[in-house]
Amino acid sequence: MNDDTIWDILDEAPPNQDAFQPTQPYNFRCTNSTSWGNNPEFAWDRPDEPTSTTLTYNIYWNAGASYHKINGSPITGTTYTHTGIKLQKFGSTNYYYATAKGSSSPESEASNIVQIKTDHAEKKQPEKPLKQDEVNKNNITALTIFPNPFNPSTQVFYSLLEENYVRLDVYNISGQKISQLVNKYQYPGEYSVSFDGYSLAGGLYFIHLQVSDQVFTKKVLLFK
């Protein structure tokens, strides 16, 4: 028996692991969560897959009702300090998570979420409406999701300025449709639809709204 691999037999190049979506970082944690007055320091463990790829990382926090990346450039190690923010015993509650990425891969799903107290005054408000250049005045005025992150359910808000056919679907990180919330004609007005993630795994999902030939997509994070 020779040492040929399946790729030798097929006379094909093996797949590029750099393009594989990594699994999420695990054991994400704040290592000094009660060191009041200091910058929060985070650490995590490398994803299990892919094993032979160099990974970089991003960290997100909820500065308001939605998440924002806090690192300016990709993080090459498995630790990070959030400068400009101080841990505060009786401060506001903020949430963080980490993701991993290969050089040419999609970003991983979110890690576990870490909750800490900081001096950042979080404002509990819905995400900002779409910018004016993202809005077709004849169809839709806004797409807002609140709360985000959520557990176990969240509300999707949108407004129509004229009668139109509306589809509102939910997709997972792999692009699979896992729920259809709306699929019908609707009259002008404001609408609110509940998305229940009770039976779903925690992670990133995408709310996909189609009105006529317009499509709007927003990320939501289900944490468990």
Domain 17-118: homologous superfamily in CATH: Immunoglobulins (2.60.40.10)
pTM over 0.75: no
Per-domain boundaries in the chain: 17-118, 132-222
pLDDT of residue 133: 40
Q: Which two tokens stand for residue 154?
A: 């969240």
Cα-only R_g, the chain: 21
Could you write out the DSSP letters of every residue in 42-66? Answer: EEEE--SS-TTS--EEEEEE-SSSS
pLDDT of residue 36: 95
Residue type at 211 in one-letter notation: V
User: Where does 132-222 sit in CATH, by number?
Assistant: 2.60.40.1930
Find out whether 107 and 19 touch, Cβ atoms under 8 Å. no
pLDDT of residue 190: 79
Dump strand ranges (E) for the chain: 26-30, 41-45, 56-61, 68-69, 79-81, 87-101, 114-118, 140-146, 153-160, 164-172, 177-186, 189-196, 203-211, 214-222
pLDDT tens across the length of the chain (224 residues)? 455 544 454 455 544 555 567 888 989 999 999 999 999 999 999 998 777 778 999 998 876 556 788 998 999 999 999 998 999 988 888 889 999 988 877 888 888 888 899 987 544 443 444 443 444 444 555 678 888 888 899 888 888 877 788 889 999 988 888 999 998 888 877 788 899 998 999 999 999 888 877 778 888 999 87
pLDDT of residue 132: 39
Name, in order, each residue with C-beta under 8 angstroms of 147's C-beta and a sequence gap of 6 or more: 65, 154
